[in-house]
Every structure is written in C-alpha cells, then in structure tokens.
Amino acid sequence: MKLLRDTWLMFVRYFLIFIGNPAWVIIGVIQPVLYLLLFAPLLKSIVHIPGFPPGGAYNVFVPGLLIQLGLFGASGVGFGLIDELRSGVIERFRVTPVSRLALLLGRACRDILTLLIQSLILMGLAIPFGLQPTFLGVVVMLGLVALIGLGMSSLAYAAALALKDENSYAPLVFTLSLPLLLLSGVLLPLQLAPQWLQDIAKANPLSYAVTAARDVFNGNGGSPDVWKGLAIMAALAIVGIAIGARRFSRAIA
Amino acid sequence: MIHTKGLRRTFKGRRGAVEAVAGVDLDVLGGQTFGFLGPNGAGKTTTLRMLSTLLPVTSGQATVAGCDLRHQPAKVRERIGYVSQEGSSYSEVTGRRELTMQGRLYGMNRAVADKRAAELLETLELTDCGDRKTKTYSGGQKRRLDVGIGLMHLPDLLFLDEPTTGLDPQSRARMWDEVRRLRESGTTVFLTTHYLEEADALCDRIAIIDHGRIVAEGTPEELKREIAGDVVLVGPEGSPDKARDILKGQDFIRELTVENEVLRLYVDRGETALPQIIRLLDGAGINLATLSLHRPSLDDVFFRKTGRSLRETAP
C-alpha cells in the first residue's frame, strides 16, 4: 500500500517535471520519425531479397523502430537523475520514510508512460506510409516497449547512481547501446546477416524482442517466438529493477 | 535528543581502512541549538550523515530523537528533518510543490500538506515566489526553502548542514532569525557551520571535532573561558621570524603561534603585556605594522584545539 502510494507520488512528480519541458517529448518523437522518413524508404528496394521477412517494408521496420525507441529513450533517463542527485533532492528523499523501491518505480513508470505515448504517435504516423497494424500487434508491441522501458531505465538509473556524473555516464550509455542496437536487427533483419553475426545476436536480449514484435505485427501472434520475446523482456525488467532498487537503497555518498 | 557513545565510521580505502569518525560521544538535549564545528575532513559531515541515517554506523551506539539509530532507522527518519549542504530542491519544480511533495512523503494527505506548505511559505517569506520554479530563486530564498522542506513534517530535531555557507550577509542574518525562531518554538537544531561567530550567536552548546574525535565541548562561554587571559596579535614589518625569536622565551607569554605573518600570543593580562611587547620589540629594532588586543573568541578556541584557523579550512 505504502509502496503504491509512494510510487504514485513519485510518478506524478516526474511526470509533471517531464511535461514541464515539452522539448523532450518532441525530440523523442522526431528521431524515429526521421528514421521513418529517411531510412525506411531504402528498405522498399530490398524487400524482395531472399531472407527478408514477409510483411512489407513498414511492417518489418516499424516494430524494430519501436524497440529502438524503447532502448534509446530509456538509456537517456539517467541524465535527469544525475541532475537531481547534484541538487541534493535524492539525498533529501532518502532521509524521508519513502519506500526506496518507489524512488525507482515512480521514475520508471513515468519513463514507460512517455515511451508508450511516443510509440502510439509513431505507429499513427507510420500508417500513411503503409504500416498495417493489428489490435493484437499494437497491444503486444506496447507490452514489449513497456517491459524494455522498465528494464533499461532501471539499469540506466543504477548506472547513473553509480557514476554520479554525466561525463562518465554518457560514454557508457552510448558505448553499450550501440552494439545492443546493431545486434538486435532493428535496422535490417538479422536474417540477412552472416551466421556468426546471427550467433552473437542470440546473446542480445533485445533481438528476441525485435523478432517477437515483427512476428506479432505480421499475423503470427501465437508464435512461440512472441512468448519467448515477452518472457525475456520480463526477465530483463525484473533483473533491471533488482539492480536499480539495490542501488537506490544503498548509501549514495 | 541525540545521544551517542563511541560512534565510529571507517571507510575502506585503497590503503586499508580510513577512520573518518573515531569514537564520538555527543549529548544534545531537547530544545537546544547545538553547533558542530570542525575543519574540512575532520569527520563533521560523516557524523551528520550517520546521525541522519544516510550512512551506516560502523560501531558504537546512538539514540536520535528517542530511537535507536542502528536498529530503528525508519523511526528516526519520521522524527528528524535534514537540510543538506547541497540543497534539497530541484530547479524545475516550484517551491510550493517541493513542500507539498515532502509533506505527502511523510504521509500527509493533500489538504494537510497544502495547508502546511502555505503556512511555511508565509513564515519563511516565500509566498511571492512559492509558485515559481526554484531555478528563479535567489541564494537566500533557496536556502530558506530548503529549511522549509526540512520542517514540513514538524520534526522534533532538525539537522542543518552549513545553512549559511555562500549566503550574502543580509540572507545570513535572515537565516539566523529563522534558527532563533526554531529554538523558541522548541525544535532542537543540530547545525554545522564554518562561521564561528554564527556558532557563537546561535548555539547553546558547541562541539569541535578534529581527526574524527571531539576535542572540545561546552557552551560558547565555557569554551572561551577555558582560554584564560587575552590574545595579542602582533604584526611586525617584514618577516615575523625575528620577533618570534625574541618573544618566544618570555614568561608572560603562555603560547605563541605564527599565522599569515602575524604572531598570535596568548597572555594572562593583555593590558600589562602590551607595553612589555612594545618595549622588547622596540629594543630589538623591530617596527610594528599592527598590534591589537582581543578577548578570546571562538576562533581562538578553535585554533587552540585544532591547531588550525577555521577560516583557513573553509572551502
């Protein structure tokens, strides 16, 4: 009960801070829209290459783009926390009886909500291009984005609390998120990759999310890969929360 | 209100354990304003962070606001307020919203939190800027808001970590009034400061910590009385070395130190010491640039106890 209340209080706080600065919402949407406008048309010409998954360029590309949105959106959240850490606010909260887990979950819920809003905007914008969403597809897609948001933002917060400084946080996040992105098959399907690259990609949890997202968007809602993707993202979220919560409850010197 | 015995904290460093706080005994009575002084790195902040539950205690016992610090940190948190040196408000949030948020975290419902926030904004003279984001606040307004946040849940005990550092004299005076008002309202205040005149003006009792240990404790008057006699500051023209050599052996001088080219002499009776000093230095052909006589201040107490001047150690 206390956890729920505290999480809600934190969520409202960070949501108000977020919408107080709409630039971030706009930037968050503009980036994937640029991919949609400037990159997706390239795919149209390679749709017919053997190995390219069925469903057409946009039904293949947009699900991946949404996963990318989740990854990049969540990995940037640590900057706000570092800013707040420096202002003494986190220390102030830690002297109150607030639940330590709520300090993490309230923020993460805000991150998830903004990701979901961005995802819906992006899917809506992709329809005129040729995206053909299904109800199940959209629901599962949002579920995957939410789980990625929860897991990755928790890990990002843990990293921010450990590093306490933008100058070490930024390089870490960019160094880690690029291989995660490249090895997930977001930009081009991994089916086109050589075998060794496909083998490495199997170690990347996000590649399962991308596969699941594509399957469900292309009418394979019941495929075991969808369940596998959801389960792996749920596991990522749990691990992320465990690590993030531990960091929040430990002394922040 | 605060009672500690053998409070210790060690940090694991690369070259073994570092003892930041090496057994601190403190007794702070309810309703007192207690000043906690010490040079940088003396263990001041570490002690404060332990007492406010931010840092686990390595060993020793402590009761804070009637609860055992090590076994009931959650209960301690409910009863204390803490205002850190860095501040406690976020630039993108209004002062009023920071206050209500704090109240809600202590379990107040919205109506109670709103009412209490309005009350605090009023007494802290922040009503005009209460609905502006804190990034627009002046240094003094921001610091008063920090104190307001710490007081939101009417704690019995308030920790103030350097409440006036970096403030202009006017804002400092305003903050002093606030601390005095807290004292009148019966709130116990535990404050650290770099300004001895601040401790002298505000505190009922003072403790000085150095190298992780309490080196002096008492009322400001008691501490000043401990340094019997007077302080004479002698500023010779040129190097102070020659003057020091001449004065060092004199019986009427109890202690002599050199700081920033000025000799600081502790003597029993200033009025009789001055002519003697002038005669001695004049006889040796040393001209004086400055000569002054002081009653011992807390600066002198601090200097005697830690071998350093507090101003030197200020950041």
Q: Which of A19, A87, A107, A164 to mutate to test the interface with B (most CBs of B within 10 A)?
A: A87
> Which residue of chain B comes nearest to A98, CA vs CA?
B105
d(CA B46, CA A121): 49
Amino acid at site B171: S
Query: Do residue A87 and residue B89 have CB atoms under 8 angstroms apart?
Result: yes
Count contacts between A and B (CB, < 8 Å): 69
Question: Which two structure tokens, joined as six digits, stand for A124?
Answer: 């809506």
Amino acid at site B255: E
Instruction: Give the 3-state secondary structure of chain B.
Output: CEEEEEEEEEEEECCEEEEEEEEEEEEECCCCEEEEECCCCCCHHHHHHHHCCCCCCCEEEEEECCEECCCCHHHHHHHEEEECCCCCCCCCCEHHHHHHHHHHHCCCCHHHHHHHHHHHHHHCCCHHHCCCEHHHCCHHHHHHHHHHHHHCCCCCEEEEECCCCCCCHHHHHHHHHHHHHHHHCCCEEEEECCCHHHHHHHCCEEEEEECCEEEEEECHHHHHHHCCCEEEEEEECCCCHHHHHHHHCCCCEEEEEEECCEEEEEECCHHHHHHHHHHHHHHCCCCEEEEEEECCCHHHHHHHHHCCCHHHHCC
Cβ proximity of B99 and B119 under 8 Å:
no
User: What is the pLDDT, as a whole number, of residue B133?
Assistant: 93
User: What is the pLDDT, as a whole number, of residue B310?
Assistant: 59
Q: Which of A228, A237, A216 is nearest to A150 (CA)?
A: A237
Q: Tell me, which fold does domain B2-222 have in CATH?
A: Rossmann fold (3.40.50)
Please give the backbone phi and psi of residue B128, each rounded to the nearest 5 degrees, phi first.
-65, -35
Query: Do residue B105 and residue A9 have CB atoms under 8 angstroms apart?
Result: yes
Query: Do residue A91 and residue B54 have CB atoms under 8 angstroms apart?
Result: yes
User: What is the pLDDT, as a whole number, of residue A253?
Assistant: 41
Per CB-CB distance under 8 Å, the chain B contacts of A94 are 53-54
User: What is the pLDDT, as a whole number, of residue B312?
Assistant: 52
Which pLDDT band holds residue A252 (cuts at 50, 70, 90)? low
Whether B93 and chain A come into contact, CB under 8 Å, resolves to yes
Burial of B274 (0-12, 13-18, 19+ CB in 10 A): middle
d(CA A176, CA B23): 45
Sign of CA dihedral A207, A213, A218, A220: positive
Burial of A115 (0-12, 13-18, 19+ CB in 10 A): buried
Query: Do residue A97 and residue B78 have CB atoms under 8 angstroms apart?
Result: yes
Burial of A152 (0-12, 13-18, 19+ CB in 10 A): buried
Give this prediction's pTM: 0.81
What are A140-195's pLDDT values in tens digits? 999 999 999 999 999 999 999 999 899 999 999 989 988 888 888 888 888 888 88
User: What is the pLDDT, as a whole number, of residue A232?
Assistant: 93
Cβ proximity of A154 and A104 under 8 Å:
yes
First to last CA, chain B: 30
Whether A111 and chain B come into contact, CB under 8 Å, resolves to no
User: What is the pLDDT, as a whole number, of residue A156?
Assistant: 94
* Count of C-beta atoms within a 10 Å radius of residue B297: 16
Stretch(es) of chain B classified as CATH 3.40.50.300:
2-222
Q: Tell me, which fold does domain B228-295 have in CATH?
A: Alpha-Beta Plaits (3.30.70)
d(CA A219, CA A224): 13
Mean pLDDT of A236-245: 94
Cβ proximity of A118 and A69 under 8 Å:
yes
* Angstroms from B263 CA to nearest CA on chain A: 40
Query: Do residue B90 and residue A17 have CB atoms under 8 angstroms apart?
Result: yes
ipTM > 0.85 for the complex: no
What are B233-283's pLDDT values in tens digits? 888 887 888 888 888 878 888 778 887 788 888 887 888 888 888 888 888
What are A110-129's pLDDT values in tens digits? 999 989 988 998 888 888 88
> CA A99 → CA A50, A240, B196, distances in Å?
53, 18, 38
Mean pLDDT of A6-21: 91
Q: Which of B279, B271, B240, B273 is nearest to B257 (CA)?
A: B240
Residue extents of the structural domains in chain A: 2-39+55-249
Whether A250 and chain B come into contact, CB under 8 Å, resolves to no
d(CA A245, CA A238): 10
**Of all helices (H) and strands (E), which one includes residue A208?**
helix A205-217
Question: Which two structure tokens, joined as six digits, stand for A190?
Answer: 């991994």
Pairing of strands B157-161, B80-83: parallel
User: What is the pLDDT, as a whole number, of residue B314?
Assistant: 46
* Count of C-beta atoms within a 10 Å radius of residue A120: 15
Q: Which residues of chain B register pLDDT less than 50?
A: 313-315
d(CA B243, CA B288): 10
Stretch(es) of chain B classified as CATH 3.30.70.920:
228-295
Q: Which of B103, B185, B198, B187 is nearest to B152 (CA)?
A: B103
Query: Do residue A97 and residue B77 have CB atoms under 8 angstroms apart?
Result: yes
